[in-house]
Amino acid sequence: MRKDTNATLLLGQTLSFSANPFELPVTEAVHLQSAGAVLIRGGSIAAVGDAGTLRALHPTARVVDYGKGLIMAGFVDAHVHYPQTAIIASWGKRLIDWLNSYTFPEEMRFGSKTYATEIANRYLDLTTSHGTTTSVSYCTIHPQSVDAFFDAAQTRGQRVVAGKTCMDRNAPDDLTDTAQSAYDDSKRLLTNWHGVDRLEYAITPRFSPTSTPEQLEALGALWSEHPDCLMQTHLSEQTDEIEWVQSLFPAARDYLDTYEEFGLLGQKGLYGHAIHLTERERARLKDVGAGLIHCPTSNTFIGSGLFDLPGLMAEGQRIGLATDTGGGSSFSMLRTMAAAYEISQLRHTPLHAAQLLWLATIGSAQTLHMKDKIGNLAPGMEADLVVLDLASTDAIAQRTARADDIWEAVFPTIMMGDDRAIRAVWINGKAA
């Protein structure tokens, strides 16, 4: 019998989603197999099903047996700043102070392509070890920071989204561009990288306080020329930030209006944080189907506030999950899920483990308009996978031993946020 050298069969427990567990009971939204298998061929998932059946159908496939390991889609981190890798967990600042004290000085170093390459590779090494297979990153104003990140991801065969951060005011001179250069640089980078292999470009005004109306207008024009691209920015992270926006845009109805006025509100927009939204803002975001990105470790670490996940989800908003490295205090999406749970507890709406995993996978993928590519186990999906060890440490193992069902084993694995729970990661059909 001829060996099928192009196929790999992963054995273990498998978890996939057939629906949104925020909308349907977990038993209807999640499909679990205690003796499951995932067949990978090339960079794609060829089949998902019962281990015995798939072994019989593909007897010559290479087999990797993870025992009781839980095989599921890799984590999708929908909002990060890879240039802040080296300053993660810096002490004691609010948003504006954080930018001035830590972020801007560090981002100035990315004028060096060598340094940008070093940090890009370090970031992807760290996040892969935590089970993240797709990231959406802000770069710096330096085009070479974008090139470095895309180069590093392309070498690994990894799916990423990134863009040059644009700022033409309220930032150090060494970190500002102009309306015209922001447009020109972004367009050139977009042309060079968007749609190449597994790379996508996101038009990236940092946030309206660091862009003049002229720059916002230029980037809105660029987005209208390339509507297939994502656009990422920040929205209503802190109350003093909102007051600052009001002082800079006195004619605006609210924070969101500073984007809407310039063509930067749309279905393919990603709006990080979105904590302190007005009723008009919530309605407009829902109307256009925009992506709201929940960054819980950042929101608590910098003291921003409590994201209204239960209320926004009930409205039918499109919501993803993110670490917000390095305002967020961890590279781990497990730790990020734990923080999301804690914030929802403070809002008196506890989340089920299935809902947390959904947010970190298909939930984030749908904000990126990629749910047909990543974020789930299904034939035809890209083979980006993570295998969780539900007994990775003594503390987790003793909880798992008492579990009555798999969710009682998964939940402490999430809440303890230990990267030792990441048993294996597969990116584009290859073990990372």
Taking the alpha carbons of 193, 383, 319, 301 in that order, is the dihedral positive or negative? negative
Residues 218/180, Cβ–Cβ less than 8 Å: yes
- Phi first, then psi, for residue 329 (nearest 5°) are -95, 15
Tell me what pLDDT residue 321 has: 98
CA angle centred on 193, ends 190 and 198, rounded to 5°: 130
pLDDT at 176: 97
Kindly state the greatest CA–CA separation across the chain.
Answer: 74
The CATH architecture annotation of domain 75-367 reads Alpha-Beta Barrel (3.20)
Do the first three CATH levels of 4-73+376-431 and 75-367 match, i.e. the same topology?
no
Contact between 332 and 293 under an 8 Å Cβ cutoff? The reply is no
Report the predicted TM-score, pTM, of the whole model to 2 decimal places. Answer: 0.97
Report H helices in 157-301: 179-193, 213-225, 239-248, 257-260, 279-288, 296-301
4-73+376-431 CATH:
2.30.40.10
Sign of CA dihedral 53, 55, 56, 57: positive
pLDDT recorded at residue 2: 55
What pLDDT score was predicted for residue 3? Answer: 63
- What is each CA distance from 380 to 36, 42, 44, 66, 320, in whole angstroms? 17, 11, 6, 22, 22
Residues of the chain with pLDDT under 70: 1-3, 92
What are the two backbone dihedrals, phi and then psi, of residue 303, each rounded to the nearest 5 degrees?
Answer: 75, 40
> Model confidence over 194-213: pLDDT tens digits?
999 999 999 999 999 999 99
CA dihedral 111, 114, 118, 119 (to 10 degrees): 10
Sign of CA dihedral 287, 288, 294, 295: negative
Q: What residue spans define the domains of the chain? A: 4-73+376-431, 75-367
